[in-house]
Chain A
Amino acid sequence: MKSGWWKGLVVPVIVILLAEVAMRVEGSTSLSLAAPSDIAVALLRSIADTSLLAATRDTLIAAGAGLALGGLMGLMLGILFGIASTVDRLMEVSVELIRPIPSVAVLPIAMLVFGFGFRMEIAIVAFSCIWPMMILVRSAMAGIEPRLLEVARALRLSTWQRLYTIVLPAALPRIIVAFRLAAAMALVVAVTVEIAVNPLGLGYGILVAQQGLQPATMLAYLVWTGLLGWAVNALLSVAQHRLLGRAATVGVTR
């Protein structure tokens, strides 16, 4: 283990201990905050009665489906704009006008069309994932070593072959990074939609607990959401490192 790894834990542990003491002494009947031990109990209880797990599943399904949809569209648009610069430049104004629209601004439109539920959330998550994916993939296309493209021309590869054997493998590392960022965003947007209007998932769970004046449960859901976000990020980071290792050799051995 890296030396000094324990340093990162010192402050959180102290904060938790102080919170525990403060809550025990002061706010035993508080309706807005809870002691860490109560939070832990509420967390275990929510896991035990499967409510937390169901909410997690719902959020992940919505975020995942939205990511898949938006990510794919963003990927295709990014590749298109990346390799066909004419199309890219002609679409520039249109994209720059739509892109700044915040994903939550699109929320009522999705609500209007789909009502409440999964489809609405997936649509919003997809919308929010398209743009970062498109921009990063487009720049990944632009960042391909020009020498490799010259090789493609020298070998007289067809457009399809060029795309498949050189462009995509060379851009793969940055595409994977783009995907990771889009995934983080998908989760955040999903939870945001649930907090704002949608009655499902973790966001809704936090809201319900707050409205039901159950601070321990509310904070338990919050902590769990934080853990989930961190875990998804960490998982994707590991996946990225393993895939990038392979991707680097793919470009070479081909």
Chain B
Amino acid sequence: MRWGSRLLFLAGSVAVAIFLVWLWQLVADNRLVNPVFLPGPDRAWKALMTGFSQGDLGTKLLATVERMFWGWLIASLAGAALGAAIGSSPVLRAYLAPMLEFLRPLPASATIPVAIAIFGLSDGMVLAVIAFGAMWPVLLATIHGFATVEPRLYEVTQALGFSRAKVIWKVALPSASPDILAGMRLGLTVALILSIVCEMIAGRNGLGNWILLSARSFRAPDLYAGVILLGALGYATSAAISMFEQRLLVWRSRAR
């Protein structure tokens, strides 16, 4: 019975979404909004298809994804490693936590001009910015995860006589993994945003650049096609991380 109603609502939800798209088409067809600002979904879709078949939209998409991915990977590894070191040492935490808390609200994109000043307009600069920006959520979440390991577990490992390295590997790391994954998820969002902004500013080839140029030359269908693609990318990365989280944290979802 519950399955049935769930399926019904899902179908209804999809129907609502389709209805909204149809509404969009209606608005566009009747020119209720200036078509320069709001092209119909049909034109956006056509631009999307054309972009892939005739244009190099696929290459641009790949470029953005690559940037985002490598930056995020470096950021996650660095953030997790540093976070583990800082989070498991109360001394380091006492000295570093205030400074890190102060840097937390700094907009990552504000570092872009500084990076340009140092590295120039290059792919290296973009990677540095993305890695640096995406590192903060991972770093802070990892520190928190390591700092909040159940003290009782430390007592248990003490009684069993584990070395410090083993304690970190067997207890602290698994205990902190939900936090680390949450941080990595946030980091991925940041990586995507920074990737787009860097492409816009530094003119690197990619989706960010594509949508900006489309807007500047008033090619609205191309613009919307790019935005839809970016939405799909955001959705895909979020789903991928969720799947990864589910596999790794299976013990969380099984609670009574």
Contact = CB atoms under 8 A, between A and B. Distances in A.
A32 B118 contact: yes
A167 interface: no
Given A11-B96, A105-B196, A230 B102 contact: yes
Given A10-B95, A100-B238, A109-B227, A90 B12 contact: yes
Nearest to A209: B113
A220 to B, nearest CB: 12
Contacts of B103: 226
A202 B109 CA distance: 12
Given A100-B234, A108-B214, A192 B107 contact: yes
Interface in B96-142: 96-99, 102-114, 116-118
A206 interface: yes
B189 interface: yes
B169 interface: no
Contacts of B10: 92-93
Interface stretch (B69-77, B155-163, B218-226, B243-251): B218-226
Interface string B226-240: 110011111100100
Interface residues on A, range: 35 or more
Interface string A1-26: 00010011111100000000000000
A191 B112 CA distance: 11
Given A11-B96, A192-B193, A109 B223 contact: yes
B197 A196 contact: yes
B105 A192 contact: no
Contact of B13 (A7, A89, A191, A211): A89
Nearest to B117: A32
A238 interface: no
A96 B17 CA distance: 10
B192 interface: yes
Label chain A's interface by main secondary structure: helix
Contact of B9 (A9, A10, A89, A230): A89
A33 interface: yes
Contacts of B9: 89-90, 92
Interface string A178-204: 000000100110011001110000110
A225 B168 CA distance: 37
Q: 4 smallest A-B Cβ distances: which pairs?
A: A8-B98, A100-B234, A229-B105, A108-B215
28 contacts: A8-B94, A8-B95, A32-B114, A90-B12, A91-B13, A93-B14, A94-B20, A97-B17, A101-B231, A102-B193, A102-B234, A104-B197, A105-B196, A105-B226, A105-B230, A106-B227, A112-B37, A197-B212, A210-B113, A210-B114, A210-B117, A215-B117, A218-B117, A222-B111, A222-B113, A222-B114, A226-B105, A229-B105
